Amino acid sequence: MPFRKFFGRGNDEPAPAPAADEEAAPDEDSDFEEGIPEAVPGEDEIDDDWRARAAEVIPGGSSTGSKRPAGLYGESTTSGPSHYIRATGCRIVTASERSAIDCTMALGSVSLGYGDDAVVRAVVQAIANGNVAGLAHVQEVEIAERLCEVIPCAERVRFLKSGAEGVSAAVRIARASTGRSTIVCCGYFGWHDWSNTGPGIPASAGTHVRRVPFDDVPALEAVVGDVGSDLAAVLLEPVIERLPSPEWAAAARAACDRMGAVLVFDEMKTGFRLALGGYQQHAGVTPDLAVFGKAMACGLPVSAVAGSAAVMEAAASTWISSTLAAESTALAAIGAVLDRYAELDVCAALAGVGAQMRTSIDSAIAASGVAGVTVDGLDPMWLLRFDDPLLETQVLERAATLGLLLKRGAYNYPALAHDDDEVLAEIERLASTAFVEVLEEGQR
């Protein structure tokens, strides 16, 4: 396919040879591309054991909600791998030593590929130089400067470690900048109290938060009018499973301008994927603040709040700080990723590969005859929808056991490492096999 010819697979330079006492890393083009691996006695028992061990010491089985067994496969799950031991390109090796093509790419955190050579070299060099100290690293300045060059709204940048932290910081900056309290928002913004309800969260935490439906301009304008002079910000996750109408972001921009409020985009999923500069670059609507993360550092933990100088100045008047916010390994990874995006039209490649992945899944659905399963969403971030939750659990469990990890209920993300005809054909074959085997078992 064309993207591989133009862009390569994200690991074009040879890796350095391991030291004599180190075990060589698996070769991506051999160990990982042998199709469905032969079953090894006890594999399922090994996976089940890791599930059980995790449940004994980690509430829910994983510190990441989407990686809990119930998050991976559904509440009725009884099987399927839950842990991995290494990842290369677009493939992971599970705890039971089975290889699987990963279509989730760490919940969208990796757009190039796992273990990308340039990213690994940059991170190793950062570690060797001491990734954190009592002074700020020079890369904090350098990477902030580079982000200001490619993100439309960015005149100033602050770094943090997670998306939830980044959005919470943006909310605080908006409130500090305006001297107001109420946030009108649409989307998912992480686990922090201000944007959630439930056990452990005081009811008062959301007192100054008003939610509106996605792409509903009349509802947005009505709530903004109701909030009035206490409006601090309109905060949008600009893409939720589909592109919004052009009026959606434009109405939010106009409302903030009219009310003297701050427009904030959560570009966690759209940045470095829909476009390098996120939805704002795609739509031509510039927010006052935006939050980036995930694909920005190819899996290294970091987020960035970027925005206009006037609004970001408030970050110095309120307390937003983290010891490891700008440690140098993540900054080095951002630098390597920015280098790749400067060389190649990575976002166009991701859209092309995503379209091919969707075609592979569509073909598997058609070939198997399974009903109630559709592919939806955008090419760079597509979804697999099931009418029947039990069928979803069974198919995802079986696919993962066969060697194909698909995301339950949310986005699957293409990476440059998926840009291979054999990988795409394998995705179709494994998905079709999973559909057929589950259907056949249901007919017995």
Mean pLDDT, the chain cut into blocks of 10 residues (444 residues total): 41 39 38 44 83 95 95 94 97 96 98 98 98 97 98 98 97 98 98 96 96 98 98 98 97 98 98 98 97 96 98 97 97 98 98 98 96 97 97 97 96 98 97 97 74
- Residue 121 inside a domain? The answer is no
Are 362 and 168 in contact by the 8 Å Cβ rule? The answer is no
- Residue 86 inside a domain? The answer is yes
Is 156 found in the same domain as 105?
no
C-alpha distances in Å from residue 1, one per residue of 8, 9, 357, 362, 424: 11, 12, 12, 18, 10
- Residue 331 inside a domain? The answer is no
For residue 218, give the CATH number of its domain.
Answer: 3.40.640.10
For residue 44, give the CATH number of its domain.
Answer: 3.90.1150.10
Give the span between the Cα atoms of 109 and 162, in whole angstroms: 11
- Residue 406 inside a domain? The answer is yes
Is 424 found in the same domain as 314?
no
Cross-strand partners of 235? 185, 264
Is 173 found in the same domain as 264?
yes
Q: Among 278, 298, 326, which residue terminates a domain?
A: 326
Tell me if residue 429 falls in helix, strand or coil.
helix
- Residue 28 inside a domain? The answer is yes
Q: Which domain holds residue 223?
A: 132-326
Burial pattern 91-108, b for ≥16 Cβ within 10 A else e, equals bbbbbbebbbbbbbbbbb
Are 135 and 68 in contact by the 8 Å Cβ rule? The answer is no
- Residue 125 inside a domain? The answer is no
The confidence score (pLDDT) of residue 44 equals 84
The confidence score (pLDDT) of residue 442 equals 80
- Residue 261 inside a domain? The answer is yes
Q: Among 291, 326, 361, which residue terminates a domain?
A: 326
Is 374 found in the same domain as 242?
no
Burial pattern 291-319, b for ≥16 Cβ within 10 A else e, equals bbbbbbbbbbbbbbbbbbeebbebbeeee
- Residue 282 inside a domain? The answer is yes
Is 60 found in the same domain as 93?
yes
Is 203 found in the same domain as 63?
no
DSSP-derived secondary structure for 132-154: --SS--HHHHHHHHHHHHHSTT-
The 8 Å CB, 24+ separation contacts for 242-246 are 242/376, 242/377, 242/378, 243/378, 244/214, 244/215, 245/215, 245/217, 246/283
Identify residue 357 by its one-letter amino acid code. Answer: M
Question: Rounded to the nearest 5 degrees, what angle is found at the Cα of 286, between the Cα atoms of 280 and 289?
Answer: 95
End-to-end CA distance of the chain: 40
Is 209 found in the same domain as 234?
yes
Are 184 and 210 in contact by the 8 Å Cβ rule? The answer is yes
Identify residue 203 by its one-letter amino acid code. Answer: A
Is 231 found in the same domain as 110?
no
Is 153 found in the same domain as 20?
no
**Domain tally for the chain?**
2
Is 180 found in the same domain as 322?
yes
User: What is the pTM (predicted TM-score) of this model?
Assistant: 0.89
Q: Among 293, 326, 359, which residue terminates a domain?
A: 326
Is 146 found in the same domain as 91?
no
Is 387 found in the same domain as 283?
no
The confidence score (pLDDT) of residue 40 equals 52
The confidence score (pLDDT) of residue 394 equals 97
DSSP state of 24: P
